[in-house]
Structure 1
Amino acid sequence: MKERLQINADRFLGFADIYDSARPRCPEKVTQIILKYLGEMPLLVVDLGCGTGLSSRIWSKISNKVIGIEPSKDMIEIAKEKASDLENITFISSFSDKTGLEGNSADIVTCSQSFHWMNPETTLNEVQRILKKGGIFAVYDCDWPPIYKLEIELEYTKLFEKVREIESRHPAIKDKSIRWDKDKHLSNIKNSGHFQYAREIVFSNTEICNAQRVIEMALSQGGLQAIIKAGINEINPYIDSFKMKVFDVYGNDEFEVEFCYRMRLGIK
Structure 2
Amino acid sequence: MSLKELNPKNRFNNRAENYGKYRPTYPREIIQYLEETIGLSKGSIIADIGSGTGILSKVFLENKNKVYAVEPNENMRLVAEKSLGEYNDFHSINGGAEDTNLKEKSVDVITVGQAFHWFETMETRKEFERILKPNGSIVILYNIPKKSDEFMSEFLNFTEKYGEKYIKESIKDSKVEFFKDEIIHKNNLINRQEVDFEGLRGLICSYSYMPSEENPKFESMMVELKELFNKYSENDKVTLEYNTEISWCKLNK
Q: What TM-score comes out, normalization by structure 2 length?
A: 0.87
The residue number in structure 2 matching 1:14 is 14
CA contact (8 A) 2:147 2:156 kept: no
The residue number in structure 2 matching 1:118 is 119
Bigger share in helix: 1
In the TM superposition, what whole-angstrom CA distance separates every residue of 1:233-256 from its partner, at most 9, and x where no partner exists? 145323321222213421653454
SS in structure 1 at match of 2:108: strand
CA contact (8 A) 1:107 1:135 kept: yes
Aligned length: 248
- What does 1:118-267 align with in structure 2 at a 5 Å threshold? 118-144=119-145, 146=146, 149-151=149-151, 153-164=153-164, 167=165, 174=166, 179-191=168-180, 193=181, 195=182, 197-224=183-210, 227-228=211-212, 231-250=214-233, 252-254=235-237, 256-267=239-250
Structure 2 unaligned residues grouped into runs of 5+: none
Q: Equivalents in 2 of 1:58, 1:25: separation in Å?
A: 8
CA contact (8 A) 1:5 1:117 kept: no
Give the AA of the match of 1:216. G
With over 3 angstroms needed to count, the CA separation of the structure-2 counterparts of 1:51 and 1:13, relative to structure 1, is same
In the TM superposition, what whole-angstrom CA distance separates every residue of 1:134-173 from its partner, at most 9, and x where no partner exists? 21101111113x5575145325413422324xx4xxxxxx
Give the AA of the match of 1:73. E
With over 3 angstroms needed to count, the CA separation of the structure-2 counterparts of 1:159 and 1:180, relative to structure 1, is closer
Q: What TM-score comes out, normalization by structure 1 length?
A: 0.82
With over 3 angstroms needed to count, the CA separation of the structure-2 counterparts of 1:136 and 1:238, relative to structure 1, is same
Structure 1 unaligned residues grouped into runs of 5+: 168-173
Q: Equivalents in 1 of 2:249, 2:5: separation in Å?
A: 24
Give the AA of the match of 1:267. K
C-alpha deviation, 1:258, in angstroms: 2.4
Alignment RMSD (CA, Å): 2.5
Q: Equivalents in 2 of 1:22, 1:40: separation in Å?
A: 28
* Alignment partner of 1:51 is 2:37: no
CA contact (8 A) 2:26 2:191 kept: no
The residue number in structure 2 matching 1:92 is 93
CA contact (8 A) 1:71 1:95 kept: yes
CA contact (8 A) 1:185 1:264 kept: no
